[in-house]
Structure 1
Amino acid sequence: MTSVIEPSGTATNPVTAPHSPAGRRLVGVTALMTMLFVLTGCLQLNAQMSVRKDDTVSGRILVAGDQPAQTAALERLSTPSGLEQKVRITAYSADGFTGREIYFTQLTFAEVDALSLAIEVEGARPYTLGFRRSGDTVSFTGSVDLSGIPADRAESATTRVDLTFPNRIGETNGTLGGGNSVSWTPAPGSITRMQASSSYPDPATRGFAVWMIVGIGAALLVSIGTILAARTSRARSDRLVR
């Protein structure tokens, strides 16, 4: 969402008009310089997410910067359409950083994707977050992009991602904090890839199994009732014959 501001009242040189190749290069260079200026600042990126057995995710995401351009960009963050009842965005300001805290409750995996895409700072997405299910295994993949922040600003950068699953974590490249939790601490000057997986029953399959049990139970009751009714009918017939 980088914007390029041109001075008003200045004659346009046809050689560098916006639609000419030179003009497009100039706009691209200006946008790149603007992005580099923004990223010389520092970001606070923190996320805590908890996955439930019903395949929904709740938690909090913090995105804050120490530069005016970052602050202005973060003020424009808005809740993705359709998630107004599940997502709440509040202002954040502490220790020289200003931004937004995003609280979310019981998002589906697809809704987590939508929320991740909505978090943008001057055209860049610091987070990618995604959950996928395959059979009984749920996998998390994501990244935190701090490649535009100088590595020598590590002391002022605070970045951490915490994730909790409803069952033990099978595979991960993060730091295990217990059987069900894992964390990552991304460093400035790099892109940190995150992955973790856990296995627990598919709630859709579990629901189907419950209905199967209920259906079988109902069928047995009907069968038992039919057998009892038939025996009662035969007993009555025998008494009448006698």
Structure 2
Amino acid sequence: MNTRLRRSRAFRLAVCLALVAILSGCMQLNLGLTVNDDDTVSGQLLLTAPKSVLRQRNPDPAVAFAQLRPNIPSLPPGAESRYEDATSYGIQITYRKTPLAQFTSESVNLVRDDDLYRFSLPLDPKKYGGMVGQQDPRQQQAFMTLMAFEISVTFPGRVLDTNGTVTGRSVSWKVVANQPKPAELRAVAQAPPPPATSPAAVVTGNGSFPWLPVVGAVVVLLLVAAVAFVLLMRRRRSRGGPDATATTDPGGTTGAALGPGALTGPGASAGPAPATTGAPAAPDTPTRPAGPPA
């Protein structure tokens, strides 16, 4: 009885492994990324499977690929389109200045850690072959073994550590099918200083002083003050000031309109007194001495 049970389990395992091979059949993940110095990412991701393998599951490669894709862990989101050539069918995801924060998926992890960029792509069998190999770890391992990866990541700074091949500021990995695989693909590179570090830049959230709004506000206040000053001076001139009736006499003396007896300066002696209105004064006559009494 036990022998029959062991034979049954071995047969089911062989069938499952064969099914895994059919479903995976050298599925390939191609990824080419460029990390920009403004913490965005550009590039493409291509996930494909041979049409010959897909047709063994379904005559329509699109249907077969849709059934197979859930065995792959989540990918960084982007503009997705269908990919097809003479031998392969799959999907292509394009990244154009995609924020770095979106590259934290189960498959691709690319983050900034202060002045470092850290890239990792785990090759954990438990994350692959989830639908087919969820009952036996050996099936998941077989799914991972049959996968193939070609990865390239270009950084804006110098590469400091990796288990891939370094060419300048780029790191590449080529993991072929039916070969043992590392636990993960990893790389660490230098990151440039954060963008917008100039004094006039508007910076929020990192403690820098917002110089640009302050300078703009000061300029506006100065313009308003200048306009107010000009308007005030025009209003004074239109009303006329204390010097509006000032004239200059022939002798060069400046002051108000001068009349008879007006002072022309400090300490100036008064001129002849103006004639008073009324009866004219009687002329002076000698006083006759009084005569003797009558």
So what's the TM-score if we normalise by structure 1?
Answer: 0.56
1:40–1:102 CA distance, 2 compared to 1 (3 A): closer
Specify the alignment match of 1:49 in structure 2: 33
Q: Give the CA deviation at 1:222.
A: 4.5
Aligned residue among 83, 87, 92 for 2:84: 92
Greater Cα shift, 37-46 or 52-61: 37-46
Identity %: 21
Aligned residues: 193
User: Unpaired runs of 5+ in structure 1?
Assistant: 1-24, 118-127
Aligned residue in 2 for 1:129: 108
Deviating above 4 A after TM superposition, structure 1's stretches of 4 or more consecutive aligned residues are 28-32, 69-73, 144-147, 203-207, 222-237
Q: 1:196 aligns with which of 182, 188, 199?
A: 188
- 1:90-148, Cα deviation, whole Å (9 max, x unpaired): 13334xx523141322333343335xx5xxxxxxxxxx211222334332222346863
**CA-to-aligned-CA distance 1:23-77 (integer Å, 9 cap, x gap):** xx99x96995366434773233211112223323222222223433686653345
**1:75 maps onto 2:66 in alignment:** yes
Moved more, 64-73 or 45-54: 64-73
- The aligned amino acid for 1:140 is F
| Alpha-carbon distance in structure 1 between the residues aligned to 2:191 and 2:219 | 35
2:118 paired residue number: 139
Matched with 1:164 is 154
CA distance in 2 between partners of 1:169 and 1:219 (Å): 42
Distance 1:197 1:74, change over 3 A: farther
Q: Do the aligned partners of 1:64 and 1:99 also contact (CA within 8 Å) in 2?
A: yes
CA drift at 1:161: 0.6
User: Distance between the aligned counterparts of 1:196 and 1:186, measured in 2?
Assistant: 19
Secondary structure of the corresponding residue to residue 103 of structure 2? helix
Query: How many angstroms apart in 1 are the aligned matches of 2:118 and 2:83?
Result: 31
Classify the secondary structure of the residue corresponding to 1:104. Answer: strand
Give the match for residue 58 of structure 1. 42
Match of 1:185 among 155, 164, 174: 174
Question: Which structure has the larger Rg?
Answer: 2
Code of the aligned partner of 1:75: A
Instruction: State the shift of 1:200 in Å.
Output: 2.0
Which moved further from structure 2: 227-236 or 187-196?
Answer: 227-236
In the TM superposition, residue 241 of structure 1 has moved relative to its aligned partner by: 7.9
The answer to whether the 8 A contact 2:161-2:189 is kept is: yes
Higher relative strand content: 1
Provide the rounded CA distance (Å) in 2 between the counterparts of 1:208 and 1:134: 23
Aligned residue identity for 2:83: A
Query: Which amino acid is the alignment partner of residue 135 of structure 1?
Result: D
Structure 2 vs 1, CA of residues 199 and 40 (structure 1 numbering), >3 Å: closer, same or farther?
A: closer
Q: Name the CA distance, whole Å, in 1 between partners of 2:42 and 2:85.
A: 23
| Range with greater deviation from structure 2 (203-212 or 105-114) | 203-212
Output the amino acid matched with 1:215.
Answer: P
Q: Amino acid of the residue matched to residue 50 of structure 1?
A: T
CA distance in structure 2 between the aligned counterparts of 1:111 and 1:141, rounded to whole angstroms: 14
Separation in 2, partners of 1:35, 1:205:
56
Q: Is this contact kept in 1: 2:171–2:187, CA < 8 A? A: no
Larger RCO (CA within 8 A; separation ≥ 6) = 1
1:218 aligned residue (209, 216, 223)? 216
Flag the structure with higher helix content. Answer: 1
Mapped partners of 1:164, 1:110: distance in 2: 17
Are 1:37 and 2:21 an aligned pair? yes
Unpaired runs of 5+ residues, structure 2, are: 1-8, 126-140, 244-294
Distance 1:73 1:203, change over 3 A: farther
Counterpart CA distance in 2 for 1:31 and 1:208 is 63
CA contact (8 A) 1:135 1:202 kept: no
Residue 149 (structure 1) shift: 6.6
Deviations 1:152-183 (A, max 9, x none): x8xxx863211122x2234231222223x221
CA 200–99 in structure 1, closer or farther in 2 if over 3 Å, else same: same
CA–CA distance in structure 1, aligned partners of residues 144 and 225 of structure 2? 80
